[in-house]
Structure 1
Amino acid sequence: MSTSTNEFHVIMVGAGFAMFGTPEGPWNIAKRAEAKLGERLKVDAVIEVDPKRAEAALKIKSEGPHKSSYENTVILPSVAEFKKLVDQGKAPEPRAIFVATPPTVRGSTLPGKDLEIQLNRAFPNVAIFFEKPVATGKPWEESVGEALKVSEYLKANHKAPISIGYVLRYLKIVQQVKKIIEENNLTVMATNARFVVAYELAVKTDWWNKDIQLGPVIEQATHICDLVRFLGGEIDFNTISAHALEAHEKPGQLSKKNFDESVIPDHLRIPRATSASWKYESGAVGIFLHSTALHGTDYEVQLEVYADGVSDPCAPELLVRRPGSDEFEKTVTPGDDAYQTEMNHFIDAIEGGAEPEIFSSYEDAAKTYEMTWVIRNSAENANSKIKEQKGGKSYKLW
């Protein structure tokens, strides 16, 4: 039973799929907060520019097992409006702020895109969880530069934990690979990363328009780009070379789309596959594939990490081949909910709990954002050169 001394007050910024769930995937910040905090959770406000969306989400919550967490939730259009309530003594200062807005309104110091700075000025001592990526904007050089400025601003001015939703870092098998590398004083030699999407339930037209959500490498494959940086180290972005399969090319024709792609101009449709290679600053090498190719609902995410005497293929299970052995040790982690682990770490960082480590900082996430832009640009430049060489005609892959 909650009491006034252990209630955990929060506000939620954004009332979309990432915050309240979707059939398309496991994203659901509210659900993980409920699981971690139980009846202690008190959601004082949902900040949402579309009040009907927030009303629909709260109606479902009012009929669910955690309805007590939402009994006094108000819907407001801005963080500034909630700050007024706090200043007037009508609401307590939150312990945490969860942010799942479109990245187009954050990741910048420019008015209208400076949500992080607004939050810091209103609540400099409140922990914040941001969904990834930290930004999406054009022109890309300006957007990346602005994200790095925000990183420096938060480092200098924010006095509470900040976590970015790069959830793959929290997988048990990923943490085990990290431990093997560190305990054996290994230097990664090579990585091979793959992120393959099941697209049947991806029906939001904006996602398929690379001028709006900037394409799957920046919006989605950012997860696997972040993971290779986490395990392999910093990447020399000048060495990145990429190619993309475009929507108009024959292998890019998809048979299970459940929306009308004809409303999107051909040159703005997302690539169906992107491959890239690079060198790490250490000298190691990496390769990468993102593809929108699978039917059904399950994605395929795989990462192979190689070091002297070590092979660590990560998928739903971990296979480790150690120095001096030809055999693979198999580790299976059924029921591993990395989203829940991520939430647990965030709350523990606030309360001094058992697992207070935050694995993804804003500064780190800004570097991942830059990496995804470099991959997209490299692929588009390569395709442009090929078309020029072919006289502007589409080229054959075989």
Structure 2
Amino acid sequence: MAELRVAIFGCGRMGNERARCVQEAGATVVFVYDPDAERAAKMALEFGAEAIATQDDLPWSDVDAVFFCTPPHCREAQALAAIRAKVPFLAEKPIGISHAASDRVLAALTDAPVVNAIGYMNRCRASILQAKALLEDCRLLGISAHWVCRQYTVPWWLDESASGGPMNEQATHLFDLCRFLGGEVEEVTSLAALNGSHAVQPLGSASALRFSSGILGTIFYSCESSVKDIGLHLFTDKGGIELSGWDFQMTSNMVTNTLPLPSDENVFLTETRVFLEAVESGSREKVACDWEEAARTQLLVDAARRSMSEERELELQT
């Protein structure tokens, strides 16, 4: 890989993770930005980059790609800036606090296509890809997924105007995986937990999905626990497939009665490397999720949130 020059917006946990991955993939972090100037300076020092004072100070012609590791409400403006500059970008999921801004970005990408990727990193996991391959030889009957955890402590995470709320910012991983493994969803019904949930927005929810294929799925989400409990179960006509933990390790496979060896893969490195290779080649073929694909997941999450607030089922245009 040629030595690509990369900028990173957002110097928090994910910004630092992406910077490490960029370096390991053989590219160079040359500019970093964060509204917290001290945090940006610290990251710049660690990675030998230059900290810029504002987003507008980025010399777009001096970078080959940019990573947006910022809160969801920043997504549209940053993506449009990259498209105008014709610079490829990887943005963390989700694509915004709702689908409302997505059409403007999609229109801009139609007029001026650039390589782009959205950080639904679970699509890159070996275990998820192995499960998807197993489904080619059996009939999927249904999906049951859950994500239970504690709240993130960053100030914007519970601010719906910045994150879209926990379902939008975090449970989106499960909605995306359900689409990735089960196909498009045509109907969703969601209920909010009432026991101890936040006064402004629910911290727990349960969603029932009806897929276009006719199969059913469920998603349970809560950020009111002190420990993580994450998993996904695929029901098939040849038995179940169980994926467990944040890394979705395959822990049960009744389809072939074999299990892959435990993996210590860094899925962020895998995703980052695929994106940088796409930047170098100009081909998006191997990118697991681009803006257009992520927009479909956003539509599903938006429908689930509306169903929860309006207490009714919602149909999606598929």
SS at match of 1:207: coil
In the alignment, structure 1 residue 33 sits paired with structure 2 residue 10: no
Counterpart for residue 140 of structure 2: 188
- Distance of 1:178 and 1:43 partners within structure 2: 34
1:242 matched residue in structure 2:
190
| Contact 1:218–1:372 (8 Å) recurs in 2 | yes
CA distance in 1, matches of 2:88, 2:28: 15
| CA-to-aligned-CA distance 1:190-248 (integer Å, 9 cap, x gap) | 1111111134xx32343234454222110111111111100100101xx21111113xx
- 1:73 pairs with 2:54: no
- Residue 8 (1) aligns with residue 16 (2): no
RCO higher in structure (CA 8 A, sep ≥6): 2
Q: Distance between the aligned counterparts of 2:112 and 2:297, measured in 1?
A: 22
Question: What is the aligned partner in structure 1 of residue 316 from structure 2?
Answer: none
Contact 1:191–1:228 (Cα < 8 Å) also in 2: yes
SS in 1 for 2:94: coil
Using the size of structure 1 for normalisation, the TM-score is: 0.70
Aligned partners of 1:79 and 1:119 also within 8 Å: no
Q: Is the 8 Å Cα contact of residues 33 and 53 (structure 2) preserved in structure 1?
A: yes
**Which of these residues, 75, 81, 95, is aligned with residue 118 of structure 1?**
81
For residues 210 and 82 of structure 1, what CA distance do their matches in structure 2 show? 32
| Aligned counterpart, 1:42 | 28
How far 1:104 sits from its partner (Å)? 0.9
Question: What is the SS of the residue equivalent to 1:330?
Answer: coil
The verdict on how the C-alpha distance between 1:170 and 1:291 changes in structure 2, with shifts beyond 3 A counting, is same
Please give the alpha-carbon distance, in whole angstroms, between the structure 1 residues aligned to 2:272 and 2:305: 30
Q: CA deviation at 1:19?
A: 0.4
- The 3 A distance-change label for structure 1 pair 209 and 7 is closer
Structure 2: any 5+ residue segments left out of the alignment?
313-318
Aligned to 2:95: 134
Q: State the match for 1:96 in structure 2.
A: 65
SS in 1 for 2:191: strand
**2:197 corresponds to 1:197:** no
**Closer, same or farther in 2 for the Cα pair 1:332/1:81, shift >3 Å?**
closer
Local SS of the residue matching 1:289: strand
Match of 2:103 in 1: 148
Give the deviation of 1:166 after TM superposition. Answer: 0.3
| Equivalent in the alignment of 1:396 | none
- TM-score normalised per structure 2: 0.87
CA RMSD of aligned residues (A): 2.5
Q: How many Å separate the matches in 2 of 1:210 and 1:128?
A: 25
Shift of 1:356: 6.8
- Give the corresponding residue for 1:54: 40
> Which of 193, 197, 221 matches 1:290?
221
Query: Would you say how many aligned residue pairs link Structure 1 and Structure 2?
Result: 307
Confirm or deny that 1:17 pairs with 2:13: yes
- Identity of aligned pairs, percent? 23
Partner of 2:299: 370
Residue 58 to residue 80, structure 1, CA distance change in 2 (3 Å): closer
Question: In the alignment, which residue of structure 1 is the partner of 2:173?
Answer: 223
1:320 corresponds to which of 250, 253, 261: 253
Question: How far apart are residue 340 of structure 1 and its match?
Answer: 1.6
Do residues 206 (structure 1) and 152 (structure 2) align?
no
Deviation at 1:271, TM superposition (A): 2.0
- Ranges in structure 1 where 5+ consecutive residues have no aligned partner: 21-27, 62-66, 87-92, 108-113, 137-142, 254-265, 384-398
Q: 1:289-322 deviations in whole A, cap 9, x for unaligned? A: 01113325xx332111223324221114312212
